Structure 1
Amino acid sequence: MPARKAITGRSQEPRKRYAEELRRLRTARGLSLRALADAVGWDPSLFMKLESGKTLGSPEVAEALDEFYGTPGLLLALWELAVGDPTQFKEQYRRYMLLEAEAVSLWHFGVSILPGLLQVDAYAREVLTLGGYRGKELDQQVAARTGRRILLEGEDAPPFRALIAETVLRTPLRDLAAWREQLDYLLEASECPDLTLQVLPDSSGLHGLVGTAVMFLRLTDGTTVAYTENAYRGELIEENAGVERLQRAYDAMRDQALNPAESRKFILRMLEEVPCEPST
């Protein structure tokens, strides 16, 4: 059987195809990035990142562009395919990613690393490198992970609570300048009205989520799901009893955590302890 010929010259990789389609639709209208941003209501830098494939953005952006271009459902479908692309995320993570994008509120506990939604590029790169990613695949994974920060931006951003173990903030990156950038970003993020950041002191002792990071998602139908993760695997938990057990453990830890104002002061102290790089 002869090889199937491509119908178009466009990419067959979902992430690249989404970026290409966004660029094609804009240029066909003769619009600049700024003109598109003015018409749709997001920052021009977002559309630049979308068209370069550096971020996938949110489903709300895809839906808004579908409405603007008169392509009902097309861009949203391409976005869903890009999010579910196995070259971007591991198999067990794909359904979680779709649910995260739909969540009306999120809350997380970080036992050993910061949540992906709060990682700067350098932090994500070091974590993913430790996970074995290299070269182009590493670049794709970093862009995919840090691109998720768009979820917490804008007026419609869902409320997000991040409970972070003290150990996480006492484990710096190898690059101290990058570590300062990460701590600065946490301080900046902690001032956002829809984001609550709390530090769980080591003095709190053992707790119900020892060795396990967890993200809870409240969905539009009122149900809550949880995604637990350790260094080797992740698991999406949708059964009510399992989610309830994790929530009780989370609530007990939150009661032991520093309040948001104290947590900001703690992060600031960590930042002040980072040695300044010598001038050259």
Structure 2
Amino acid sequence: MPPRRAISGRSQEPRQRFTEELRRLRQQKGDSLRQLGEALGWDWSLFGKMEKGQTLGSPEVAEALDHYYGTPGLLLALWELAAANPSQFKERYRRYMTLEQEAVSLWHYAVASLPGLLQTEEYAHELLAAGGLDGDELTRQVEARIGRREVLMGGDAPPFRTILSEAVLRTPLGDANEWRKQLQHLVIMGECKNVVVHVLLHDAGLHALTNTNTMFLRGANGSTVAWVETGYSGELVEESASVERLQHAYDAVRDLALSPADSRKFIIQTLEEVPCDAST
């Protein structure tokens, strides 16, 4: 007897299935996100982020939703499956890496650390080590990250634009000389014809991407996807309306940033403020 075929049409991927059920149950009840937030006592934006897959929320939120919708245990069980599946992140990241290699243009925003495409080897080493890697795995990850820089090299390299929060340039490496090398590398890369670097000063204030590293990848077919990442998770956003909202947020942040010329001056000024090691 052949295996039974799933006929629900719903995703078999735990995290996506969780978001689908959240949307389905809310729409079935006829609530807006704001009405849902008012009914349960949480900020309605939390439920919007959960439905877009940007966060899972907490088990307490899943339990409250189960109680509200009259689905005892359903959403909590889906939440547990989604939260317990660490391979989800790796799979999404592998797909992101493939799209990065194929992209015809890349736009980026950095919250607190430089994008991998602009990192020196020592910067990558210290950043990854701070994240808990060590030994052979750390070495492999550093090599892989440095290898990614080839995306920006060559005559057919795609245009790359990055907006760096001032915090990126105010968070140095432990070794001042290596930090100088990183800033010098950033200045050099900013002179490449396909690379544009902006700096967003602290004075710009809060904005829609304040806590979210974001990379937009435009494919040869004209479609754009976004990779959004916090310190603990990453998400590949492919749904067109969600990507468009992120792009509008990015455009607003770019309007607040320094011009490329002024950004270069700011980076050089920061470089000049780094003390030299007299022993070298």
TM range (shorter): 0.5 to 0.7
Q: Following TM superposition, by how much is the alpha carbon of 1:225 offset from its aligned partner in structure 2, in angstroms? A: 0.1
**Which residue pairs with 1:256 in the alignment?**
256
1:251 is paired with a residue whose SS is helix
* Correspondence list, 1:189-204, <5 A: 189-204=189-204
**Which residue pairs with 2:267 in the alignment?**
267
Counterpart of 1:94 in structure 2: which amino acid?
R
* Correspondence list, 1:30-45, <5 A: none
**Which residue pairs with 1:238 in the alignment?**
238
The whole-number CA distance in structure 1 between the counterparts of 2:249 and 2:127 is 26
**Which residue pairs with 1:142 in the alignment?**
142
The whole-number CA distance in structure 2 between the counterparts of 1:119 and 1:214 is 16
The whole-number CA distance in structure 1 between the counterparts of 2:98 and 2:279 is 46
1:279 is paired with a residue whose SS is coil
Q: Following TM superposition, by how much is the alpha carbon of 1:92 offset from its aligned partner in structure 2, in angstroms? A: 2.7
1:158 is paired with a residue whose SS is coil
Per-residue CA deviation, residues 91-122 of structure 1 (Å, 9 max, x unaligned), is 33100000000000001000111101000001
The whole-number CA distance in structure 1 between the counterparts of 2:269 and 2:112 is 19
What's the TM-score once normalised by structure 1's chain length?
0.68
Per-residue CA deviation, residues 53-105 of structure 1 (Å, 9 max, x unaligned), is xxxxxxxxxxxxxxxxxxxxxxxxxxxxxxxxxxxx93331000000000000
The whole-number CA distance in structure 1 between the counterparts of 2:245 and 2:113 is 22
2:186 is paired with a residue whose SS is helix
**Which residue pairs with 1:22 in the alignment?**
none
**Which residue pairs with 1:111 in the alignment?**
111
Q: Following TM superposition, by how much is the alpha carbon of 1:236 offset from its aligned partner in structure 2, in angstroms? A: 0.3
**Which residue pairs with 2:99 in the alignment?**
99
Unaligned stretches of 5+ residues in structure 2: 1-88
Q: Following TM superposition, by how much is the alpha carbon of 1:194 offset from its aligned partner in structure 2, in angstroms? A: 0.6
**Which residue pairs with 2:162 in the alignment?**
162
Q: Return structure 1 stretches of 4+ with deviation > 6 angstroms.
A: none
The whole-number CA distance in structure 2 between the counterparts of 1:202 and 1:90 is 33
Counterpart of 2:238 in structure 1: which amino acid?
E
What's the TM-score once normalised by structure 2's chain length?
0.68
Counterpart of 1:175 in structure 2: which amino acid?
D
Q: Following TM superposition, by how much is the alpha carbon of 1:212 offset from its aligned partner in structure 2, in angstroms? A: 0.5
1:215 is paired with a residue whose SS is strand
Q: Following TM superposition, by how much is the alpha carbon of 1:245 offset from its aligned partner in structure 2, in angstroms? A: 1.1
The whole-number CA distance in structure 2 between the counterparts of 1:202 and 1:254 is 14
* Correspondence list, 1:161-240, <5 A: 161-240=161-240
Counterpart of 2:156 in structure 1: which amino acid?
D
| Count of paired positions | 194
Q: Identity percentage over the alignment?
A: 59
The whole-number CA distance in structure 2 between the counterparts of 1:228 and 1:276 is 36
1:90 is paired with a residue whose SS is helix
The whole-number CA distance in structure 2 between the counterparts of 1:157 and 1:123 is 23
The whole-number CA distance in structure 1 between the counterparts of 2:149 and 2:240 is 28
The whole-number CA distance in structure 2 between the counterparts of 1:173 and 1:154 is 29
The whole-number CA distance in structure 2 between the counterparts of 1:227 and 1:166 is 21
2:220 is paired with a residue whose SS is coil
Q: Which has the larger radius of gyration?
A: 2
Per-residue CA deviation, residues 4-36 of structure 1 (Å, 9 max, x unaligned), is xxxxxxxxxxxxxxxxxxxxxxxxxxxxxxxxx
Q: Following TM superposition, by how much is the alpha carbon of 1:278 offset from its aligned partner in structure 2, in angstroms? A: 2.1
Q: Following TM superposition, by how much is the alpha carbon of 1:279 offset from its aligned partner in structure 2, in angstroms? A: 2.4
Q: Following TM superposition, by how much is the alpha carbon of 1:241 offset from its aligned partner in structure 2, in angstroms? A: 1.1
1:108 is paired with a residue whose SS is strand
**Which residue pairs with 2:85 in the alignment?**
none
The whole-number CA distance in structure 2 between the counterparts of 1:218 and 1:143 is 26
2:114 is paired with a residue whose SS is coil
The whole-number CA distance in structure 2 between the counterparts of 1:211 and 1:230 is 7
